[in-house]
Structure 1
Amino acid sequence: MKILLIGSGGREHALAWAISASPLCDTLFIAPGNPGTAQCGENVAIDVADHAAVVAFCRLQGIDLVVVGPEGPLVAGIADDLRQAGFKVFGPSKAAAQLEGSKGFTKELCAEFNIPTAGFGRFTGADTAKAYVARQGAPIVIKADGLAAGKGVIMAETLDQANEAIEMMFAGGLGSAGAEVVVEEWMVGEEASFFALCDGTHALALASAQDHKRVGDGDTGPNTGGMGAYSPAPVMTSAMEERVMAEIIRPTLAGMAKRGTPFQGVLFAGLMITAQGPKLIEYNTRFGDPECEVLMPRLKSDILPALLASCDGLLDTVDLRWRDEAALTVVLAAKGYPGKPETGSVIRGIEKAEELDDVLVFHAGTKLSNGDLVANGGRVLNVVALGENVGQAQARAYQAVDRIDWSEGFCRRDIGWQAVKREQG
């Protein structure tokens, strides 16, 4: 098969690594890719926002399957344009991608189909949003409705913080993403990420993970796109996974089909495991980043048949096997992140890190410059390790991190702390 993978981050390097290992994969193109994906296939310099150019490339190369990594192209309708041109695509339609593209859309779906989630209000103006906050009290959660690159959620511990977040969003601080705002109840519990492949009718549970959104140790500082993750999440027992499938994933799939917008692709449910059970925080309509970087190394089965079954409505015929080992990834970020990152600094020592057993390094924000690997973004590298438990994976990952020579980068030193604390009793 000839496959085109769209995207350029750590998620796409992990997917490229998994897809290229499949005996079904003859040729893998990545658009635009990064220096890491170039080790798995051929990077191609296509502007993925130019859907006509992507379609033309697929025709020229005779592409058999397109796998869309990031949310932006999905929300922009790239899957629709490719399908209309006759290509098989892993990823939801523009209408179905609203599950990620609009938080308000997802909240209304939850209300209509009795899917457990936080109480909420939707607002198109600051005054009504502030009045709602005043009635509800703090702490409370303020969310931009649209895509905001992981920065559209403010956990407001006081009324002043909530009002400042509302003013910032409606003043254009997050661009068009903040034209509408969702205000949510502050839920108490433990967060987890859960993934399921969907073919419009059937859903196949994948694995769970837990990521670390705050930039600093001890879960302090501003939210980021994710500073690390591990899989599986201990809070997601087999019984809890079945509850999530029964109470959240399957009703979502049925609701989307009933609305005439069937969901095909991967559903990434951000969950809060509360005293009452699992509740949906939000949906993403693609593999998580950095969660994908810990899911792919744990997957023993060939990923391609599962992706094809999602496209063909045949997920009820697929079974996936997972490694018992835990996987943990530490994100190395450029100084300044999540604000303005310092780019252009040289990174060395990745090969020394990968000499360690069960260690992989996935590239996220890197590029080649005059023969050197340099930082080219906020989140730059994902250092991944496997271990018999999270504690062992954590120790191995930080051993690998310390072999990488990049003084202009930083990382959290406590990824996996909740699971390690559990393991230590």
Structure 2
Amino acid sequence: MENQDRAMRYARQIARMIQVDTVRRPGADKENFDRLHAVMAELFPRVFEGCRRWEFESSLLFCWPGKTRRALVLMSHQDVVEAPGAWKYPPFSGTIAEGKLWGRGALDVKGNLHDIFQAVEELMEAGYTPEWDVYIAASHEEETGGNTLIVDFLREQGIVPEMLVDEGSSIQPCPVPGFDGHAAMVSVAEKGYIDVKCVARGPGGHASIPGKGTPLPRLGAFMCEVENTDLFPVRLSSASAEMYRRMAALSADEGERAYLTAIAEERPGWQESLGERQKEMLGTTIAFTMAGGSQAANVIPQEAYVICNIRVAPGETVAGAVAALQAVADRHQVELEVLRSNEPSPVTDPRREAFVRVERAIQAAWPGTEVLPFLLSGGTDTKHFVSLCPNCLRFTAYRISADQQVRCHAIDENIDLDTIPNGVDFFKNLIQGL
């Protein structure tokens, strides 16, 4: 009953945060972020009154001083993505129904942000003083690429956090066949990011006399070759190897255990044994996402383009990925322009104390949960901190279903009420376990 009461109380608090629309709209959203800050100040008065606080545009940074100058950063963002479509419950209503909290930001990531603040609020109320300085960082534009305002400030102040925990993967149905349970997927690295504009040019002309080799067919041939070629080799990082080792230990099936061990040890033929989903998780990927040509149905364009998004696996580089794509582009007379890029993050060793501390905090909050190191395909604000902090981990402190996972950034985003208290306990455990 106590856990149910906590779950409902926390859900109502998160609902109030969801009810403030914080979709990033440059030049027209400061009032909304100010409203969210006012709601948070009401929900977490001890944090807002008892911690040092800085505001960078609408990004927030708090410091709860500890007994030493060692520092932990807990991070989740305030902004959310747009919420189009027909939702079961209005996306900014924060509806509590069917044992769930519904709304944009419930999972990504106002729920996690709430749990960080609530954990600190409760520890402060209990009179606890942390061993380390605890920083809470909350960007206001993670969904649009983030900013470096907070990390620049920390660097200027000479503050080098020993450990950072940001949003990431979560507790999900365990991916090991034959293992009936959940696993906490703790991201130890995230892939790099590249947007590339691929342009084909020609003389253009009237569609009634098309000729051959015009821009759009060349782009089509280029995309088909990229789609049907293994442009990027799949390599195994030390963290991914550890993930497969742990998965093998969990498997009750002897054949599956041998298969996972062979991957972990990179035995001959391991790459060929991977399924497409595994290759996508471990390796560099490319997806074509946008296109453009002429503005009329009877005009051959002088210029046509497609835009592709590349996610660069740790161990690879932006330059290497672009060079591999360029080799194909040259065969089709396609020019490449890099619009935006960042390198893949360093890999935090899952054998290090930082990972062990997160693992302990998870298992104390969710007893019996297995913990697997994981490579995050998406991007987070952590990318701005990896040059400052040596141990960066990414974990959203909720247990979610496969259905809830795909509703992130989609219609009917929701979380179960009964997982929310565990999320608060996770952050309390982590702070107290330093």
Task: State the TM-score bracket (shorter-chain normalisation).
Answer: under 0.3
- TM-score, structure 2 as length reference: 0.27
Higher RCO structure, 1 or 2 (CA under 8 Å, sep 6+):
2
- TM-score, structure 1 as length reference: 0.28
Structure with the greater alpha carbon radius of gyration: 2
